[in-house]
Structure formats: structure tokens, C-alpha cells
Amino acid sequence: MAGAAGGLLPRAFGRAAGALCAGGGAGARARASAAATPAAAAAAAKTAAPAAAAAAAQPAWGEAGLAWSVDTQVRVDWSLEEVAEVFHSPLLELVHRAANVHRTFHDPRQVQKCTLLSIKTGGCQEDCGYCSQSARRSKETGVKATPLMQEEPVLEAALAAKAAGSTRFCMGTAWRGPEQVGPRQFKRILTMVEKIRGMGLEVCTTLGMLNADQAKQLREAGLTAYNHNLDTSREHYKKVTSTRNYDDRLATLEKVRDAGISVCCGGILGLGEKEADRVSLLHTLCTQPEHPESVPVNALVPVKGTPMENNTPPDTLEMVRYIAAARILMPGSVIRLSAGRLHLSVADQAFCFYAGANSIFTGERLLTTANNDECEDEKMFQKLGLEGRPAFVPYANSGRAVAEELRSASEEQGRRSAQNQEEPRQSYCHTSARRK
Ligand code: SAM
Ligand code: DTB
Ligand code: SF4
């Protein structure tokens, strides 16, 4: 279902692909899509153009209805209240709505396999309370500092990952940023990026804080994505890390975006945060100038010797709720079920995939902790009828780009109407068969 936006618009997979509805301009559609409850729908109806207003005013399930069927907009203007409303919806309604969004924007059978490699472990200057790699706690955690790996074993690991079905290779370093180690080591990483990209793999790095020049060099080397997590809410962040602040993280994300590299940014559940912190992080993520291309959802892996060793990790339903909300709020992004998968059963993971997760890390290790057995993952894919997501699948990841497409489509329609060349209007607002 490619639309005028040339690949930016949602592609509909399977039966949840509803009819395109006739409606007003981009503004009306944006208002209609914001209507997450009958009350909000009624409010939207007051200001929307007539057709969109009618759609917005009609809840999916009568008075108690949740307007899950109006979800094809990629929006970057979510209010905190709207995010909270999505997050706190009854779980099965939330998941149902998320599953619909998932099918509209992604092939739900595809789950991307990614492989992580810690190319420089331990000895980190920072003091993130969840992390095994901070130099300050090396005695307690027993994680020793190692130098940056040489090129050859890294390339071998990337080839092995590709042979095992991974389509993204992600390299992590335990340091504050490349500044800390100087240009020679950074150059080695650039070479790794270039060569791994040459293998036809997506390449991701997570190297801490970047300046604009480093981001540009990574881009020129062919980097696909840069992982830099916000981890939790701005409010809770101070309790997690004292050596940097939220704005430092946001500044690096801006440089990555400006360099034209896809942003991979998400968080960890289980850092002692409240539900309001989870809502706040989701709100920050979905109101970035563009949605992150990837949103990792990590469950804390409590590491002995860290201040969070006794934290209780989130349960499956908390993970599912978070994934489903992220899927609805950032429909085009790849939601990555990341750390903490080791303790999830196949049924738990199936629920996460149903709620919209479409990537996992495969391979025996994450960075410093154990990961699921690869053969078990393979069996899980077979049982659930999943297939690996290929590299470089295009998707509608950018709220900004979609908004621009909608604006120009709307202007074009305006011009046509003015010239009395009325053609059937195309709208990207999705109505389910049930609502007709
Ligand atoms: N040093 C870089 C940084 O902090 O951006 C990159 C490496 S860091 C280990 C990558 C991410 O892994 C962190 O941002 C965090 O979200 C996640 N992470 C680290 N330790 C974790 C743990 N014990 N449990 C869950 N996630 C963890
Ligand atoms: C992300 O969000 N999770 C991955 C990846 N990005 C780099 C890292 C998980 C690390 C889990 C703890 C460890 O193995 O040290
Ligand atoms: Fe260092 Fe990254 Fe670990 Fe923080 S999360 S201590 S920055 S390796």
C-alpha cells in the first residue's frame, strides 16, 4: 500500500490493513489521530474538517471504546497526558491497539536478529548505577578493563554473526566518548564500520558522547545507526548516573541526527523508576524532532557489585505494556527487545512480539552478560512462525518527514480543489472494517 509519500507512509500487512478513509487535510488528520478516547475524539471533532470529525467522534467500542482504530499517523507532538493515557490503557486493549499499529507499519512476521560485541570492555570513567563496566566498581563486579579490540577478530565476529542470520552488528565501548582515547583508536573503529558495512550488514555503534566531527566521520564510514540511550526519565536520571546529565545525552543524539545517522535510543526498566518515569521517557522519545529509528527496551540485568544488584527487574507484563505503548507512540520505529530476555519464556517473548517488538539480540553474550541460547532462539522463531528481518528495510520512521509529506499532499489537494479538478481524496487515516 505505497502512498504518495514514496515509502514514508505506513505499509499495511495482513488483515489489519484497513481502508483509507476520506478526510480533511493534514491538520484534521493529526487532530483525529490524537483522539485516544471518546472524550478526546469529541473534542477533536469540534475542530476537525467534517469527514475527519465524524470519524474522530465515533469510538471503536461504543461509549467505553478505545479509539485504537485511528492510528496511522507518525506524530511528534504527543502531549504528556496523551502518552500517559496510552500507557495506562487496559493492558489487552493496549496490546490489541499496538498489534494493529504494528501490522500497519511492519511485517509482523519479521523480527530482526542483531549481534552485539563489546569491542572495549570495562574501565569506564562513568558511573551508571546499572552497569558492570564502570571503573569505580571493577573490584566489586570483577569486570576488568581491556584495550580496544584489533580489527581482525571484530571482522571475524561480524562474519560469524552474518552467517548466523544477524542483519545488524552493534559494537559497544565502555568509555565516556572517543575523545577519551584519541584519534588512532577512533580511526580503527571507523575502519571496522566501513568493512562491516561492506559485508552488507547494518552497522551500529555505541561509543558514548560524540562531537559533530566524530559523528560526521562515522557517517562517512557508512555507519547505519548510533545507540545512545536516555535510559530513564530526566527526573530519575540523576539517581542513575552522576557523571553526566540528560542534556549531555540529548546533545549527542542531536549530533547523530544532524550527521544523518539513524538514532537508536531507548531505556531500561528496573532502575527503581516509577511508572511516571516510564511515561516521561516515552514522551521524550516520541517528541524528538524525529522518532528514533530504533527503540531498545532493556530489562535491567542486575549485575553483582553494582548499586542496582538487588533491584527487581520488570515482569513480563510490564515489558509488554512498555513495548505496546512505544509501538503506538512511535509506529515506524524498530522496537528492540534487548537486555533481560534470558529470563523470558517463549510465550513471554511471543507476547512482546505481538505487542510490537521486532528485534532481538542473538548470540551467546550481550556486552558483558549472558544472552539466550542461539539454538533456542532458532526454535522459537520456528514455533512462532517468525523470520529474520532483512537488513535495510525502509520504513516510516520520521515524524518530520511524514508531516512534510502530509503537508505537501494537502497543499496539492487544495490546489486541485481550487481548480475544480476534484479527485477522490487520499488520506492516511486508517479505519478498521469494524468501524464502518
Ligand atoms: N558506554 C556507552 C553508553 O553508555 O552509551 C555504550 C555502552 S552501554 C553498556 C549501552 C547500553 O546498555 C546502556 O545505555 C544501557 O541502556 C544498557 N545496559 C547497560 N548495562 C545494562 C544492564 N545491566 N541491564 C540492562 N541494560 C544495560
Ligand atoms: C541496548 O540498549 N542494549 C544493549 C545495546 N543497546 C548496546 C546492551 C545491553 C547490555 C546488557 C548488559 C551487559 O551485557 O553488559
Ligand atoms: Fe560506561 Fe556506558 Fe556502562 Fe555508563 S553504561 S558505565 S557510560 S559503559
CATH code: domain of residue 336? 3.20.20.70
Number of domains, the chain: 1
Contact 293, 260 (CB under 8 A): no
* Amino acid letter, 341: R
Instruction: Give the residue, out of 229, 230, 244, 368, with the most ligand 1 atoms within 8 A of its beta carbon, to mutate for a pocket test.
Output: 229
Q: For residue 49, tell me if it sits in a domain.
A: no
Distance CA 286, CA 282 (A): 6
Q: For residue 69, tell me if it sits in a domain.
A: no
**Start-to-end C-alpha separation, the chain:** 20
Distance CA 219, CA 225 (A): 9
Q: For residue 68, tell me if it sits in a domain.
A: no
Strand ranges inside 174-316, DSSP E: 202-206, 225-227, 262-264, 267-269, 294-299
Q: For residue 85, tell me if it sits in a domain.
A: no
CA atoms 118, 119, 123, 125: torsion sign = negative
Nearest to 262 by CA among 226, 287, 289: 226
Distance CA 428, CA 101 (A): 13
Helix (H) or strand (E) holding 56: helix 50-57
Instruction: Report which ligand 2 atom has the smallest distance to the Cα of 296.
Output: 2
Instruction: Report which ligand 1 atom has the smallest distance to the Cα of 229.
Output: 14
The length of the chain, given as a count of residues: 436
Q: For residue 262, tell me if it sits in a domain.
A: yes
Q: What is the extent of the structural domain holding 252?
A: 110-413+422-435
Distance CA 58, CA 65 (A): 9
Tell me if the pTM is above 0.85: no
CB proximity list for 296: less than 8 A, separation 6 or greater: 227, 229, 264, 265, 266, 267, 336, 338
Which pLDDT belongs to residue 324? Answer: 98
Q: Count CB neighbours of 8 within 10 A.
A: 22
For 375-411, b/e burial (b = at least 16 CB within 10 A) is eebeebbeebebebbebeeebbbbbebbbebbeebbe
Distance 15 CA to ligand 3 centre (A): 43
Helix axes 91-105, 346-354, angle to 10 degrees: 70
Which residues, in sequence order, are bridge partners of residue 173? 120
- Which grid cell is 116? 552485539
Mean pLDDT in consecutive groups of 10 residues from the start of the chain, 436 residues = 34 38 29 34 36 40 45 89 98 97 94 98 97 96 97 98 97 95 95 98 98 98 98 98 97 98 98 98 97 97 98 98 98 97 97 98 96 97 97 66 53 64 33 24
Which pLDDT belongs to residue 393? Answer: 85
- Tell me which residue has its CA closest to atom 4 in ligand 1: 208
- Please tell me the number of Cα atoms within 13 Å of 385 on its side-chain side: 4
Q: For residue 241, tell me if it sits in a domain.
A: yes
Which pLDDT belongs to residue 180? Answer: 87
Which pLDDT belongs to residue 35? Answer: 33
Q: For residue 44, tell me if it sits in a domain.
A: no
Collapsing DSSP to helix, strand or coil, 204 comes out as: strand
Instruction: Give the residue, out of 118, 124, 132, with the most ligand 3 atoms within 8 A of its beta carbon, to mutate for a pocket test.
Output: 124
Q: For residue 180, tell me if it sits in a domain.
A: yes
Where in the sequence numbering do the catalytic residues fall? 124, 128, 131, 170, 204, 264, 336
